[in-house]
Structure formats: C-alpha cells, structure tokens
Amino acid sequence: MSIVECKTSDIQALSREFVTVAQKAATAVYPWIGRGNKEMADGAATKAMRAHMNHLTMDARIVIGEGEMDEAPMLYIGEKLGTGDGAPVDIAVDPVEGTNLVAKGMDHSLAVIAVAERGTLLHAPDMYMEKIAVGPKAKGCIDLNLPLSENMKAVAQALGKDVSELTVMIQDRPRHNHLFKQVFAAGAKVQMFSDVDITGAIATAIDELDIDMLVGTGGAPEGVIAAVALKCLGGDFQGRLLPANAEEVTRCHQMGITHPTAKLSIDDLVKTDNCFFVGTGITNGPLLKGVERLSDGRIVSHSFIATKNDAQFIETRH
C-alpha cells in the first residue's frame, strides 16, 4: 500500500468541510428516527454525504465503506469522491453508525467519518476485531496480548488510581462475559452499552465522561475509525482481526493484510498523524446530543471534530 504525502494544512483545511458532511447525513436521517426502516435511514444519510463530498476540492477514495451487511446504497470501497483536485485522501465512513438504533428510536446513533492522507488507513474488512482503547494518560500502557486484569493494573498505575477506581466500558454481549468477570474480580466498575463502540473508544480520551478503558470485540471498520479519533486525541488503541472462517481469511489477504490475526497497534491502523475524525449525533448519546427540531422549525445538530492536537464540540442551527 503506497503512501501519498500531502501537506498537513491541506488535510486540516478539509476538516471543517467534513463537519458539514456529517451534519448533512445526520439531519437527513432525522425524519426516519423511530420509523422502523433502517434501509431508508441509511440511504438518506448516504445520499446526503455523497452529494456534499463530491463538491469538495479533494482527490478522495473510500477505503472503508458503509454497510456490507446493510441493504442500502453504499459508499463503496474504492469509490472516488470530490473534484479530483486538491489533497489525495482516504476516507473511512459510516453514514449511520447504529442503523437499528435509529429504526427503533433508540439512543447512541451517529454519523462518523475519518479522513487521512492517501495510503495510511488499514483496509479493514467487515468482520470482528478484538479491541482495547485508552486515553492519553495511559498511552503506551496497553497490550492486547495480556489478560484484561494485567492491562487494568498498568492503566490504573498510569492514571494514578487504584484498580478498583477504574471504569471499563464493555458492550453488553454474552461474548464479553469473561471480560465482565475480570473487571468485577478486580473490584472495578463496568459501564455497559448496547451498540456503537466508537463512542466508547473516544470517551476514554474525554475527561468529563469518566471512562478509563474500552475493551471487547466489535466491528473492524469501526476500529479503524476509532483509532483515527484516538490518534488525534493522543490516546492509544490496539486491535486484532478475528476472521471466523477461511473465506474471511482470504478477504484479509485480498485487502493486503498478510497476517490477519496479528496484534495491530494504533500506528498499524493509522500510519500518519495527518488525519482527522468527525462525528455528528443522530440520536442522543454520551458523547453527542442527537438532532433536534426547534419550535421555529430550525434543526439543531451537535458535532465533534478531532484534528491533530485539537478537539471541538460544535452546535449548529440549520
């Protein structure tokens, strides 16, 4: 995978434009919240994203697209976007992270985009990934090859806490029962969530959210997007692909991953600091409020943008 270098200023100049891209996706989904049709919600977000991105001065391609498992018009892997001029960039995107949540009118859904210079994002196939994420104070202290209990001790030491004071975010799934047991055995706290582990990974780098670690198994594409966000925020992330069968191993090889089950550092997932992450809430979550309609008919969106050494929350009235 070749890396095409471009000026940091070129990438960062695009970041504000991509806030608008995420906002357009989230507001396009708003009429479909709670209406039981995830395909229409995803289609509305995808259409809005694609239309705006194609007007941007950039030479972009999708390396992680949405919805291999969703019946929706996809922003497909390899799709070219933008005017063809400007910064050569790769995009990892999920127009609706949490389509089932939107369809059911539930919390925690958002539109997410990660952008980096060409050739620097892992082309993660749509399969499971084992993950561990921490914020800046615990950077360099995690090791996916060690038991969770050992990682908790290292993180607690880095944070100046007792292990019993840690809060570990874990998705509420039977496959994580062994993780719950280790956290409880250490006397620490678990914060469970139903879907969207990108938010949990980012939460480790936001002091006000009081999350010390995210661990568990979730989607690999989402792992790359979360790694971009944490790269910008100074946090740390490790992952390991978990191909379920020979077909998934073959898919890894086809996407340039020669050792599918190797531990992946944050630098393996994102081979540059020249990147940014943008998310806009669709329904309410711990990181962002969802889209709201005011009494005068205007729409309000809530976004988060992380660039190199900078992060902002943005409220916009449309």
Contact in structure between 102 and 29 (CB atoms under 8 Å): yes
Is 42 annotated in a binding site? The answer is: yes
Is 212 annotated in a binding site? The answer is: no
Is 102 annotated in a binding site? The answer is: no
d(CA 231, CA 266): 7
Is 39 annotated in a binding site? The answer is: no
**What is the H or E stretch that residue 37 is in?**
none
* Pick from 73, 59, 41: nearest CA to 118: 59
Establish how many alpha carbons lie within 13 A of residue 159's alpha carbon, considering only the half-sphere containing its beta carbon: 26
Is 196 annotated in a binding site? The answer is: yes
Is 126 annotated in a binding site? The answer is: no
Is 76 annotated in a binding site? The answer is: no
3-state DSSP call for residue 254?
helix
Is 208 annotated in a binding site? The answer is: no
d(CA 226, CA 197): 8
Is 268 annotated in a binding site? The answer is: no
Is 97 annotated in a binding site? The answer is: yes
H-assigned helices in the chain: 8-29, 38-53, 99-103, 148-159, 177-185, 197-203, 220-233, 246-254, 266-269
Q: Give the β-pairing of 292-293 and 310-317.
A: unpaired
Is 99 annotated in a binding site? The answer is: yes
CA 130 to each of CA 66, 79, 103, 233, 299: distance values in angstroms, whole numbers, following the listed order: 20, 28, 27, 21, 37
Is 172 annotated in a binding site? The answer is: no
Is 173 annotated in a binding site? The answer is: yes
The answer for residues whose C-beta is within 8 angstroms of residue 74's C-beta and 6 or more apart is: 46, 65, 66, 67, 68
Geometric angle at alpha carbon 139, from 137 and 141, rounded to 5°: 105
Give the burial string for 16-30 (b: 16+ CB within 10 Å, else e). Answer: ebbbbbbbbbbbbbb
Q: Tokens at residue 199, please?
A: 């938010």
Is 197 annotated in a binding site? The answer is: yes
Geometric angle at alpha carbon 188, from 185 and 193, rounded to 5°: 105
The annotation places the binding site at 42, 66, 94, 97-99, 128, 173-175, 195-197, 219, 222
Residues flagged as binding site for substrate: 97-99, 128, 173-175, 195-197, 219
Residue list for the binding site for Mn(2+): 42, 66, 94, 97, 222
